Amino acid sequence: MERQENRSRVDRSRLLPEYRTLLEEQDALGGPAMETLTPQQARAASETRLALHWGAKDVVSGIEDLEIPSGDVRLKARLYRVAGTARTILFFHGGWMVGTIETHDGPVRSLAKAAHANVLSVEYRKAPEAPFPAACEDSEAALLWLQGNGGALALDAGKVILAGDSAGASLCASLAIRARDLAIPLAGQVLIYPATDLSGVTGSRQKFASGFSLQQSTMIWFAEHYLSGGMLPSDPRVSPLLASDLSRLAPTLLITADHDPLRDEGRAYAQRLIAAGNDVCYEEWQGTIHGFFIMDRAGKTARKLIGRIGEWAKSLWDRHDDGERSGG
C-alpha cells in the first residue's frame, strides 16, 4: 500500500505523454517490487517484461550467435551484420542482475541500422551468482576477443565504438578507461543513462526515488547483489566517476533522462570528462525516464534516440576516415 501511495504523490506532469501513460499502466497492473523477489525470480520476470517494451524489429543483413571466452567460461554474444561496412559497435545491455542479448534484441537491431554498422552484443555474467568484478572482466574479454578476431569476421576492430545502457553503460565507461591504459584504440563510447557512482546519494536519486520506472530501492538492491563479493562501491571500476584520471579517453556521447534517479551522476560524469579535456557530447532528454532506450512500444522517442546515436557514430567514424585520408 505504501508503495502505491508514494506513486500517487509523484509529479509526472513534465513527462512526455508516452511515458506518463506507460507508468500509469504499470501502476494499474501492480505486482511485487523487484527487490521483494529472489534474484532468480526477478531475472525470469524481466526476460518477458523487458522484451515486451519493443515492438516491430528491424531486419539486418545477417545475425550470428557466437561464444566469447572469458576466463574459464564462455559468454553468449550475437553479431548483427550490416552489409557493406566493417564499422563495429560493441554493445553491453543494462541490468547487472537481469537483461540478456534477447531482451535488447529489438533496440540493438535498430542501432545497427541507424549507425549503418555491425553490432556485437555481449551477455556478461550476472550477479549474485557472479558478482563484481565478473562483468568488468567479461567486458574486457569481449573487447580483447574482438581485437584478436575482428579481422577474420570482417570487422574493423581498430575503430570500435563501445555502447551500453544503464549498467551496460557503466561497464563501457570502465572499459574505456581500461582500454586507454592498455593502449587499445577506440573510436568512441556511447553511455546511455550510466550508473557512475554507487557510493553516494544524489539529488536525482532522492527526487525520483519512486514512481519513475527505476526505483531507488531497486538500485540499492542491485548494488548489494552486484557487490556481494565484498568489493567497495568506491572502487572506480564500479563507480567510474570516482576514477582519479579521466583524461585521454575516447570521444563520448553521454545521454541522460531528466526524470531518472541516475540523472545527476550522469551529468557529473560528463562534466568530469569535459574538465579532463575529452571530446564529449552530453544530451539530457527532456520528459524521459530510465529505460527509454528500449521502450519502443511506448512511443517514438526510443527510435529518435537510437537515430541520434546512429548519426553521432557515423559522424565520428567519418571524421576518423577523413583524418586517415589526410594523414592526420
DSSP string, 101-164: TTTTHHHHHHHHHHHTSEEEEEE---TTTS-TTHHHHHHHHHHHHHHHHTGGGT--GGG-EEEE
Active site residues: 166, 260, 290
Please compute the mean of the pLDDT values over residues 187-201 and round it to a whole number: 96
What pLDDT was estimated at residue 45? 87
Please compute the mean of the pLDDT values over residues 281-299 and round it to a whole number: 97
What pLDDT was estimated at residue 205? 97
Angle between helices 105-115 and 301-325 (to 10 degrees): 40
Q: What percent of the chain has pLDDT over 70?
A: 97
Tens of pLDDT, residues 226-243: 999 998 999 999 999 999
Average pLDDT, the chain: 94
pTM: 0.96
End-to-end CA distance of the chain: 62
- From residue 222, how far is each of 54, 156, 163, 179 by CA, in Å? 23, 35, 21, 26
Residue 2 predicted with pLDDT over 50: no
Q: Tell me the helix, strand and coil percentages in the chain, rounded to 5.
A: 45, 15, 40
Q: How confident is the model at residue 328 (pLDDT cuts 50, 70, 90)?
A: low
What pLDDT was estimated at residue 3? 44
Cis peptide upstream of residue 233 (ω within 30 degrees of 0): no
- Judged by phi (left if over 0) then psi (alpha if -120 to 50, else beta), residue 66 lies in beta
CATH architecture for residues 47-325: 3-Layer(aba) Sandwich (3.40)
> Would you list the domain boundaries of the chain?
47-325
Lowest mean per-residue pLDDT among 31-40, 110-119, 146-155:
31-40
Contact 21, 265 (CB under 8 A): no
What pLDDT was estimated at residue 280? 98
What pLDDT was estimated at residue 323? 80
Would you say the C-alpha torsion 26, 29, 30, 33 has a positive or negative sign? negative
Query: How many C-beta neighbours within 10 Å does residue 228 have?
Result: 14
Q: In whole angstroms, what is the distance from residue 262 CA to residue 117 CA?
A: 28
The three three-digit cell numbers of residue 105, written as one number: 534484441
With a CB cutoff of 8 Å and minimum separation 6, the contacts of 132 are 226, 227, 229, 231, 235, 237, 238
